[in-house]
Amino acid sequence: MRKIVIAIDGYSSCGKSTTAKAVAAELGYAYIDTGAMYRAVTLYLLEHGISFEDLPRVEQALHEMHIAFKRNRKTGRNELCLDGVIREDEIRQMRISNLVSEVSGIPAVRHAMVRQQQRMGRKRGVVMDGRDIGTTVFPDAEVKIFMTADVLTRALRRQEELALKEEHVPVEDIVENLRKRDHLDSTRTESPLRRAADAVLLDTTHMMIDEQVDFVLERVSASLFSLAAAGWQGNEQK
Ligand code: DC
């Protein structure tokens, strides 16, 4: 069966990664969390004491660091690996969430990450979540979803996720962080967060995960069907 690219973009904490992971598992596709890559760059710069404003040093750091995903055999999940070490927990901490939009707005960082993401998806058969997948990384993605949800709903979801990792953060702080990131992500000059003209809008405020997953899978079936139909028509014309 033909493999396609599924781009899931949208605001932070709308359920993009949970949905994307489940869709990838259902289809036997690879799941790539592009936000984790920007988080890893942020962690690297912090740990090496590199100022985000020191652009030549940031560019050098992009050549030095090695970002990859490793499959955890026990959980079946792809985990972010920075310089050979799994750093999933650290990259999700609030200290990183508070700085990541600054780092992801640096053009050299975006260029390096976009190039790597395009390489990761060149054979297709991937579900990629992020902010600019349908607009910049894979403008030719066969399925494009743009997810949104009410900011308080998103903050409560993120609070629950953090609490599971023993990080207890007041909901107001999370709302503030989400608002700040939404603003920075949508107003940066380099590939800002915006809905691609051909992306389908999915508001998850009142949706359960299963419904979100079914919504995306329906779009995938429709896309595969129309690709197959186009193939049949192409064959008939030959
Ligand atoms: O999805 P996330 O919250 O883990 O993403 C972390 C940050 O990375 C987010 O504030 C915006 C940025 N990001 C981006 O600019 N482009 C992407 N494709 C993915 C994430």
The answer to whether 146 and 202 have CB atoms below 8 angstroms apart is yes
What is the residue whose two structure tokens read 């197959």?
Answer: 228
Report the predicted TM-score, pTM, of the whole model to 2 decimal places.
0.92
Query: Which pair of tokens denotes residue 217?
Result: 């899978």
% of the chain exceeding 70 in pLDDT: 97
Q: What is the DSSP letter of 15?
A: S
3-class secondary-structure state, position 11: coil
Instruction: State the burial class of residue 48 (Cβ atoms within 10 Å of its Cβ: 0-12, 13-18, 19+).
Output: exposed
- 39 CA to middle of ligand 1, Å? 8
pLDDT at 236 over 70: no
Mean predicted confidence (pLDDT) in 183-209 = 92
Q: Give the mutation target among 18, 42, 100, 110 for probing the ligand 1 site: most ligand atoms within 8 A of CB.
A: 100
Using the mean position of ligand 1's atoms as its centre, give its distance from the Cα of residue 169 in Å. Answer: 20
- Please name the residue whose Cα sits nearest to atom 5 of ligand 1: 35
Domain ranges within the chain, ordered by starting residue:
5-221
Give the length of the chain.
238
Q: Which of 18, 151, 185 to mutate to test the pocket of ligand 1 (most atoms within 8 A of CB)?
A: 185
Which alpha helices (DSSP H) does 7-150 contain, by range?
16-27, 34-47, 55-64, 88-91, 94-97, 100-104, 107-120
- Residue 105 Cβ < 6 Å to ligand 1: no
Name residues whose C-beta falls within 8 Å of residue 113's C-beta, 6 or more positions apart in sequence.
34, 37, 38, 41, 104
The residue among 141, 112, 134 whose CA lies nearest residue 193 is 134
Pocket lining: 185 vs ligand 1, CB cutoff 6 Å: yes
Which residue has better confidence, 139 or 73? 139
For the chain, the average pLDDT equals 93
Whose alpha carbon is nearest atom 6 of ligand 1? 35
Decide: 21 and 212 in contact? Cβ < 8 Å: no
Report the distance separating Cα 175 and Cα 2, nearest Å: 41
Which of 34-48, 79-93, 113-127, 178-192 has the weakest average pLDDT? 178-192
Question: What is the third-level CATH fold of 5-221?
Answer: Rossmann fold (3.40.50)
The helix or strand, by DSSP H or E, that contains position 186, with its residue range, turns out to be helix 171-187
